[in-house]
Amino acid sequence: MGLRQADAVNPGRDDPAATAGRSELLAEQEYVSRVYARLDAERERAEAALREGPAAGGGSAFQARLESAVATEEAARRLAVLAGVEHGLCFGRIDHRADADGPGDTFYIGRIGLRDENREPILIDWRAAAARPFYTATPGDPGTLARRRHLHLRHREVVRLDDEVFDLEGLDESQRRGVVGEAALLAALRRGRTGRMSDVVATIQQEQDQVIRSGLHGVLVVQGGPGTGKTVAALHRAAYLLYTHRDVLERRGVLVVGPNATFLRYIDQVLPGLGETDVALATVGELYPGLKAKATDTPEVAVIKGDLRMADVVKAAVHARQRVPEGDLRIETEGLTLVVDAAKCEEIRDRARALRLPHNVQRRRFVHDMLEALAINRAEQYDRIMDEPLEEMARDGGLPDWLQELIDEAADEPLLDETDLRLAKEALWQDPAVRSALDELWPELTPEQFLTDFYADPDALAHAGAQAGIDCTPLHRPAGAPWTVSDVPLLDEAAELLGKDDSAEKARRRAAEAQRAREELYAREVIQTVDQEHSERLSASDLLSAAELAERHHDDGPPLTTAQRALADREWAYGHVIVDEAQELSEMAWRTVMRRVPTRSLTVVGDIAQTGSAAGASSWGQMLDRYVPGRWREERLMINYRTPAAIMRVAADVLKAVAPDQTPPEPVRDDGPPPTAVAMPVTELPSLVRSELALITGGDHDDIGGAYKEGRLAVITSAARHAAVLGSLPDAAAGATPDALDSPVVVLTTEEAKGLEFDSVIIVDPSGILTESPKGGQDLYVALTRATRRLTIVHDNDLPEVLSSLERP
Ligand SMILES: Nc1ncnc2c1ncn2[C@@H]1O[C@H](COP(=O)(O)OP(=O)(O)OP(=O)(O)O)[C@@H](O)[C@H]1O
């Protein structure tokens, strides 16, 4: 790992090393204060820009409004970035070795880059190439570094320094005396948990750095056991990619897909702390705009809904909504029976289908052709009615020559000319009987209506299932049932196949586009002007393209961020997508995700050994080869930063039993007490929870429902015991709700605990967890690896064999 614990600090007052340490601290404090002063100056400048808008100048009112929009957005964004980086702004320093040309360079590394009044860099952004040695140097391969220093800050005060000296020869005498501190990583890992993930920008490890800085293009799989920092590395990767490819990604956006809302809340502070405030976060259940599906299906139903064959099922079911009548179409209206014969109906349907457009767009052709057939039939019937008196006259004594001539002339003309036909069709479309007959045959459908109807119709389920070779009968459910997470990929599939009849919208947009093209040209000129006027600020063109600016100017109301606009648009194509806990996604969920990133620029983060969903992945190739055959690359993370070694040994026993081909990660921590197993009834949980809480929060708290800043405990239970556990801990938070993270004690199922971590974990009913799902072994492995400090297993004298190595008090 390349980390070396440095010498003990806090020696006596007269100790020369202590004196050197103090002066070193003072020197660093001076530098850090300068950096914060620059941050303050930048903030003041952004605030002033926000207050005052652009400097008054010539130009039209339109130009003034555009300038104001650019300046305001730039200032607001800059302010958000500057506010997010206050904590631990400057955390590192690297000293390059001196060489023949003179002393080596020194750089300070921070969350963002800053320059002094003379435009000289005083803080290097951690993502810049010049900062990379801070993360990659090891004692074995220090590159050109002589020393790496971690600066620990409390608010704006430098409280400790940790040094790793790679080359004592390369340091001068005063620098040698200044070697102080202990390894920063271990200090970071020992911190109490707060219910929110922190960034690790100061202590990124080499293998993680490789993941973070891997190229933008293609699919990168990050496979690693629990606690290896997959999530945290993926989030730093998002920040790195935005920094390095801002031109593409700021416009197209970056999406992070996580397993549930709690998890997203757990990670939502990491990116702002890294200076990135505009990344879209969503669960699979939120990928269909307008819906926040949280409910889950039974494993049997989830497996069916996640099966790739469901794409064919949806297609067959949409096809089944494009019907023709059993025989001829007959519609009673205006005292007539309008008729379109069966062959014509089929011809019309087939012609609409042949367009190979979405259902709702094809419907326009179907309706159009049907109305035409009906109009002609109506005209023919009227014609016959008109002809009847003439026929009678002809029978009774013949027609006068002039009338016969008129009739012969009319016979050569079509029954309806173009205008007659259009008017007739419009009139028929207003006729409720006609409209309902055509709606019945080829209805206009929203994805929600389509899927609701489909689930509620056993015949439709059986028919579409048979066509795709999968039994869909278990999907039957009444209309009005809540949407589940597994429904979302099916809604998305349906949305693709149904499409929207947006002809009216398109016409409006075409007119608007012409107007916008003119505005865009104008905006481009304004951007150039603003760039020149504020050249030392962030360039306006860095932030906004002319098209975007014109579009924003055009809209009323506050401008939306890229992330907001992307999340509201089902057809948005992201510049990069990160999928966390990706092993849980079904084949159908992958289809939904891939649709959102046509460039296939993805980071896929997960652990095949932790797959809990029966519809999830058993290998990465199973899910990815379909989209990028043989073209995805894999990085493996092997070190566990979360779980102490004693706990990890127990987890490894479980992994060996359920997935012998998987290797558990190597724990970096070897502290904390061994995990224990206690046989006791659930009713005794409160006293155990209380004593555990006292240990992780400092001993003076006894309020399970109160809020502590640090120290979190989770009770992870089988579904069978869930209600009983909750009953015995009425003050604890429950379930995967975002608020649960603020509570010191939370009760979770294994599914809900995925991706999270707690100082102390109590697992209730391990036998139940093992046996109640086909992936029970994986679920138990996940539960065992959530603890950062303490683990207790509560059982009913039925400890599974695989946990037999646990200590029993
Ligand atoms: N380089 C690092 N420096 C400090 N802390 C780290 C580092 N890497 C990981 N951690 C910490 O280790 C813990 C586990 O990280 P993370 O949740 O990203 O792991 P994971 O691989 O996603 O785990 P799981 O698969 O169990 O969800 C977190 O508290 C994280 O902050």
Model confidence pLDDT, tens digit, residues 615-632:
888 889 999 999 999 889
Q: What pLDDT does 707 receive?
A: 45
Which atom of ligand 1 is least distant from the CA of 606?
25
Q: How far is the CA of 194 from the centre of ligand 1 (A)?
A: 14
Cβ 285 vs Cβ 302: under 8 Å? no
In the block, residue with structure tokens 């002094």? 116
In ligand 1, the atom with minimum distance to the C-alpha of 605 is: 22
CA-proximal residue: ligand 1, atom 15 (nearest): 229
For the whole model, what pTM was predicted? 0.80
Q: Look at ligand 1, atom 1, and give the residue with the nearest C-alpha.
A: 204
CATH among 2.60.120.1440, 3.20.20.140, 1.10.569.10, 3.40.50.300 for 217-291+578-635: 3.40.50.300
Does residue 618 sit in helix, strand or coil?
coil
Report the C-alpha gap between 573 and 589 in whole angstroms: 16
For ligand 1, atom 30, name the residue with the nearest CA: 229
pLDDT of res. 648: 94
Q: Give 5's contacts (C-beta < 8 A, 6+ positions apart).
A: 182, 183, 186
Compute and round to an integer the Cα radius of gyration of the chain: 34
Per the DSSP assignment, residues forming a β-bridge with 124 are 109
Amino acid at the residue 161: L
Whether the CB of 229 sits within 6 Å of ligand 1:
yes
The model's pLDDT over 521-569, given as tens digits with 9 standing for 90+, comes to 766 665 555 545 444 443 444 444 555 555 555 555 566 788 999 999 9
Phi, psi of 46 (to 5 degrees): -65, -40
The residue written with tokens 């036998």 in the block is 767
193 Cα nearest atom in ligand 1: 29
Mutate to test the pocket of ligand 1, among 206, 212, 231 (most ligand atoms within 8 A of CB): 231
How far is 338 from 375, CA to CA, in rounded Å?
9
CB of 253 within 8 A of CB of 285? no
Question: What phi-psi label fits residue 203: left (phi over 0), alpha (psi between -120 and 50 degrees) or beta?
Answer: alpha
Tokens standing for residue 360: 């709702």
- Range 617-623, long-range pairs (CB < 8 A, 24+ positions): 617/582, 617/583, 617/584, 617/585, 620/221, 620/223, 623/582, 623/585, 623/587, 623/590
> At 212, which amino acid appears?
I
C-beta of 227 in contact with ligand 1 (< 6 A): yes
Pocket test for ligand 1, best of 193, 200, 257 (most atoms within 8 A of CB): 200
* Atom of ligand 1 minimally distant from the CA of 233: 18
Domain with CATH 3.40.50.300 in the chain: 217-291+578-635, 645-806
DSSP three-state, residue 504: helix
CATH assignment of 645-806, given 1.10.3720.10, 2.60.40.10, 3.40.190.170, 3.40.50.300? Answer: 3.40.50.300
- 761 by Cβ neighbours in 10 Å (0-12 / 13-18 / 19+) ranks as buried
Looking at residue 673, what DSSP letter applies? P
Report how far residue 759's alpha carbon sits from residue 761's, in angstroms, rounded to the nearest whole number.
7
Ligand 1 centroid to Cα of residue 787, in Å, is 12
Structure tokens at 466: 């048979």
200 ligand 1 Cβ < 6 A: yes
Q: Is 641 in the pocket of ligand 1 (CB under 6 A)?
A: yes
Q: Does residue 205 have its Cβ closer than 6 Å to ligand 1?
A: yes
List the 219-224 sheet strands across, edge first.
Answer: 280-283, 254-258, 576-579, 602-606, 219-224, 632-637
Q: What amino acid occupies position 18? A: A
Rounded to the nearest angstrom, the distance between the alpha carbon of 667 and the centre of ligand 1 is 11
Burial track 99-136 (b if 16+ CB lie within 10 A, e otherwise): eeeeebeebbbbbbbbeeeeeeebbbbbbeeebbbbbb
Contact assessment for residue 226 and residue 643, using Cβ atoms and an 8 Å cutoff? yes
Report whether 138 contacts 124 (CB < 8 A): no
**What is the C-alpha to C-alpha distance for residues 213 and 127, in angstroms, rounded to an integer?**
8
Write the CB contacts of 657 (distance below 8 Å, at least 6 apart in sequence).
777, 802
* Residue among 204, 230, 641 to mutate when testing ligand 1 (max atoms within 8 A of CB): 641
Give the Cα separation of 245 and 622 in Å (integer): 30
Question: What residues of the chain score a pLDDT lower than 50?
Answer: 1-13, 174-182, 531, 533-544, 700-708
Give the residue, by CA position, lying nearest to ligand 1 atom 24: 226
Alpha carbon distances (Å) from 195 to 186, 643, 740, 747, 785: 19, 16, 9, 14, 16
- Rounded Cα distance between 447 and 128, Å, is 45
- Does the CB atom of residue 230 touch ligand 1 within 6 A? yes
- β-partners of residue 161 are 151
Cα-to-centroid distance, 640 and ligand 1 (Å): 8
- Cα atoms in the Cβ-side hemisphere of radius 13 Å centred on 123: 25
* 365: helix, strand or coil: helix
